[in-house]
A and B are shown apart, each in its own frame.
Chain A
Amino acid sequence: MSKQEQHWEKSRGLLFMTLAIWFVFSIGIFLFGAEMNEVTGPFGYPLTYWFTCQGSLGAFVILIFWFANRQEKIDEEFGFSERGDD
């Protein structure tokens, strides 16, 4: 398998992982919204309510930065990262 194919396979693996986490916070939680809202969440808000206000939103921010860093590492590993700084 060529270097490029390996790189793409790893990138695709990262994509699926990112989308799986995204699925949990954007869809998974809200499948059980009514049940989870009985639980008290962070800062004392009802749990599902907290996720729609802050939790999921914050998770997305962190997820994107985590994804960007992981993808950069993959690019470096195979020597496909760009020269120069941003």
Chain B
Amino acid sequence: MDFPGKKDLLKAESFSVFYGDNEAVRKVDIEIPEGLVTAIIGPSGCGKSTFLRAVNRMNDLIPSCRAGGSLRLDGQELYTQGLDVVMLRKQVGMVFQKPNPFPKSIFDNIAFGPRIHGVRDRSKLAGLVEKSLQQAALWDEVKDRLGDNAMGLSGGQQQRLCLARAIAVNPKILLMDEPASALDPRSTSKIEDLIEELKGKYTILIVTHNMQQAARVSDLTAFFYEGDLIEFGETSQIFTKPGEKQTEDYITGRFG
């Protein structure tokens, strides 16, 4: 697919992910351009989260999981021997379905990533923390209590904290695995506003169950069904005149 002026950041060629013998993602070809928001939609168990987690190799945590084909981030093949997973994950931030701040202070949460990657200087860390929290629109709410435990924040604040934590290492791409599904509508809309603001600075890949959300926040939408990539295109086009029957059935609520 061609988007003028945008280079492809993430490129999958005949990429598959297996859990044991079960092929959860089946020979997917997709090119995700830089600087845009791409939504992945599809019914439960369609492989969208698995695909997302393949990008930062979080699937490695599952012993029976392996991958086939090629997945490249910025030209770098991800599934080769000798890939430095730490360096990969520095380039790929992730926000999870359930807010999962560490039971540490707000400051230490944000500084966790930079510290792993060798930032020790206190003033430099403080600067990073402030910048990240500002980008996540949380700075004004927490600037006076950076030393407080992050578990004391509300669910929505926690999720924005997790977002700030992810962007503190300045990743090339941000993965979001249903980032608003555990939140109330107000917090959800805040997260959506944030995605809007972060667009351009980061390439965002978001998995969502909520089709209105996908329609609201994304530039591109990919529809997965039973491990196959059925359709990939501009969001406006997918939601108004989908090219495939299955896509239409899904977005009109006939299944899923």
Whether both chains belong to one complex is answered with no
| B residues apposed to A, CB below 8 Å | none
Task: List A residues at the B interface (Cβ < 8 Å).
Answer: none
